[in-house]
Structure 1
């Protein structure tokens, strides 16, 4: 594989995404008492009760889904399958030179966020989540981390790019 400006950009976005996620998780693990079955943990208010930091170890995927799976199925669904999918997406964006920069950034952010969470599952057996938004009856999230932000932002960017592409074709 030839190291082009485009390839360097892809890997730079992936590496920066992983680095941002891992640095924030290290800081959270070192400074916020984690929530456990017997301890509610520490809650740090960023903006009143609307934006809170806490430390939760998530053994599942998004919003804890999959945490009740048997170990073999959890290995397949939460480790092997994501690694295979991330590998295929990386191969796709490296090979397809027609992908616009907006989509390239989006795909790279998704890959970086996915790798960061898979890394946590391999190294720690869980993913550290620490951000929570609660705007009352208007909007409420589950507990998430910076890798989740990267994946979600990338998905939204791809959705917008798709709408833009379809609009120009019409």
Structure 2
């Protein structure tokens, strides 16, 4: 393995672990310090902290499914996809650094949420943004990591497309 590959893999592993760590630390603090459905204003009423447990997927989708099907769809399949993603990141040779970074954010967030689902039976969500007409559901730092990863992919795709058109 050449020196560049070692540096790149180390940076990706550090990013992956930092995303998982930030997610789990923030969730542990919320689990210990905040009551369920307690609303704490962080920035006026625009950014609040409200602890909820989500036993479904995004916006509680799938929470009413039978337990076996829910486990397969919300834990089993995502674990396989995340394992494939990690393998792809470290074994693929012709992937750009930005793509690797995007994958490490998205996979790190995915691992954080899967860990919660497997260990705690649900995912702890606690952040809410309300800008009047623009409002989010309640989310967590793993969701932020996933969105940053997807945003990096979109930005890279946009600039790669502009480069090929020129």
Scaled to the shorter chain, the TM-score interval is: over 0.9
After TM superposition, give the deviation of residue 95 of structure 1 in Å. 2.0
* Unpaired segments ≥5 residues, structure 1: 35-40
After TM superposition, give the deviation of residue 67 of structure 1 in Å. 0.6
Higher helix proportion: 2
2:31 corresponds in structure 1 to 29
* CA RMSD between the two structures: 1.5
After TM superposition, give the deviation of residue 98 of structure 1 in Å. 2.1
Match of 1:153 among 148, 151, 158: 148
**Superposition map of 1:1-170 within 5 A:** 4-34=6-36, 41-137=37-133, 139-170=134-165
Quote the Cα distance in structure 2 between the aligned partners of 1:30 and 1:114. 22
Quote the Cα distance in structure 2 between the aligned partners of 1:125 and 1:140. 27
Describe the superposition over 1:13-37 as per-residue Cα deviations: whole angstroms up to 9, x where unpaired: 1111000000000110111101xxx
Quote the Cα distance in structure 2 between the aligned partners of 1:6 and 1:101. 8
Quote the Cα distance in structure 1 between the aligned partners of 2:106 and 2:25. 18
Quote the Cα distance in structure 1 between the aligned partners of 2:32 and 2:87. 36
* Unpaired segments ≥5 residues, structure 2: none
Q: Secondary structure in 1 aligned to 2:50?
A: strand
Give the TM-score taking structure 2 as reference length.
Answer: 0.93
Q: Secondary structure in 2 aligned to 1:4?
A: helix
Aligned length: 163
